[in-house]
């Protein structure tokens, strides 16, 4: 069974890939990313949401929320 640090590192890597490969958009004028209907990104957004990343009502993720999630998971992996 994976330990907590490894799970946090995997979530960080997933968020980093979303940050790099998801489509840029805006949500109420703020920089955000969208899955663009791609099933792999849809799944990644779902996993991130289940892990605590804030997903907007239209399914996008504001970049500031994605970066915050990455910071938290990085801290957790360093403490795990």
Supply the pLDDT for residue 80.
Answer: 60
Digit-coded pLDDT (tens) for 22-59: 999 999 999 999 999 999 999 999 999 999 999 999 99
Q: Which domain does 50 fall in, by range?
A: 4-79
Structural domain count, the chain? 1
Determine the Cα–Cα distance for residues 3 and 9; give it in Å rounded to an integer.
10
Determine the Cα–Cα distance for residues 48 and 43; give it in Å rounded to an integer.
9
């Amino acid at each position: 069974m994976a330990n907590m640090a490894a799970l946090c590192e995997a979530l960080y890597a997933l968020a980093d890939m979303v940050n790099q490969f998801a489509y840029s958009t805006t949500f109420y004028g703020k920089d955000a990313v969208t899955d663009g209907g791609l099933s792999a990104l849809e799944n990644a957004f779902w996993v991130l949401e289940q892990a605590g990343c804030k997903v907007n009502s239209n399914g996008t993720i504001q970049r500031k929320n994605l970066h915050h999630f990455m910071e938290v998971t990085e801290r957790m992996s360093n403490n795990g």
